[in-house]
Structure 1
Amino acid sequence: MNVAASGTALKRLRRSARLIVLAPGPRVLMFRYDIPGRDPFWVTAGGECEPGESFEQAARRELFEETGITAEPGEQIARTTPEFVTPEGEPVRADERYFIVRVDSPDIDTSRQTDLEQAWMNEHRWFALDELDDWHEALYPETLRSLIEEHTA
């Protein structure tokens, strides 16, 4: 583990691509994570870049693996740098890049998800934008509605 001069552990940088998948309405696709010992939360599709993979390449791969959708992610629309604990329990510093993908059909195929994703991502749903404001479980990114509204005007 990396240790800074002060003796604090440095968190690994986790590069990831996140996809804001929009269907007419607009409605946005979210996946519910249900990890033992943690409160359930919802996130957009996406995940960690593989070694040597660009954010755009990861966006295309993750989109297909998690949703069965083959599409170009378009240009990066946002970047966040949160710190969090991964589902596997590792504290990380994230570099998350966001892309918007528009689809005509709400059909999702989750059969290509990894075993861990299938264990933890036990539900997906299309949220209307109004539902993002006061959903009873955590939604990430917390600025999702404003990101969508800013980039779909």
Structure 2
Amino acid sequence: MTRALRPAARILLLDPDQRVLLFRFTPDDRPPFWCTPGGAVDPGESYAQAARRELREETGLDLDPGPEILQRHVEFITIEGVPVSADERYFLVRANSAEIDTGGHTALEQRVMTRWHWFSQAELSALDEPYFPEDLADILWPVEQTA
């Protein structure tokens, strides 16, 4: 299968209570899953610029994404059904409150990103639906404890 190359910026967004924000996706072609905010890098954008734009569009927060804390390569099929090989860069962002505004979601996001939730480490470990990245707790809370 030929896969499209997809540079992407992902945001590990923490609220003041050190909970991480995940969106619940309900695509037509697979079971629901949860994922961090973020998305594809637009032509001419840096990963950091894409992280800031995606954060603003998906949460209404216009915050500096800070330094990239993780890079990984993953393969998956997008919500639009496109097989991709993604070069994902992760940014840790701290929000001053748990308030978000999803008014910037695209029509597709409005259809498939039906819910969002701030997860504590305990809630994440008890979640009975898949979430991505699958090792989010291992990535996030060691970073949090040393930050």
TM class by shorter-chain length?
A: over 0.9
Counterpart position of 2:11: 19
Structure 1 spans left out of the alignment, 5+ residues:
1-8
Question: C-alpha offsets along residues 36-89 of structure 1, whole Å, 9 cap, x if unaligned?
Answer: 131000000000000111100000000000000010000001112110000011
What is the aligned partner in structure 2 of residue 5 from structure 1? none
Q: What are the Cα deviations for residues 94-142 of structure 1, in whole angstroms up to 9, with x where unaligned?
A: 1110001101211110001111111110100100111222311001001
Instruction: List 4+ stretches of structure 1 deviating above 2 A.
Output: none
Partner of 2:111: 119
CA distance in 2, matches of 1:37, 1:61: 27
> How many Å separate the matches in 2 of 1:68 and 1:100?
16
Q: Distance in 2 between matches of 1:137 and 1:85?
A: 18
CA distance, structure 1, for counterparts of residue 72 and residue 36 of structure 2: 13
Match of 2:57 in 1: 65
Q: Give the residue type in structure 1 aligned to 2:90.
A: Y
Partner of 1:139: 131
2:98 paired residue number? 106
Identify which of 91, 95, 103 aligns with 2:83: 91
> The residue matched to 2:8 in structure 1 has which SS?
strand
Unaligned 5+ runs, structure 2: none
Q: In percent, how many aligned pairs have the same letter? A: 47
Measure the CA separation in 2 of the matches of 1:129 and 1:72.
24
Q: 1:123 & 1:30 partners in 2: Cα distance? A: 9
Q: Tell me the distance in 2 between the aligned counterparts of 1:44 and 1:123.
A: 12
How far is 1:10 from its partner? 2.9
The 2-side partners of 1:151 and 1:136 are apart by 24
Larger radius of gyration: 1
Tell me how many residue pairs correspond in the alignment: 145
TM-score calculated relative to the size of structure 1: 0.91
- Amino acid paired to 2:67: E
Q: Which amino acid aligns with 1:57?
A: Q
RMSD: 0.9
**1:30 and 2:31 matched:** no
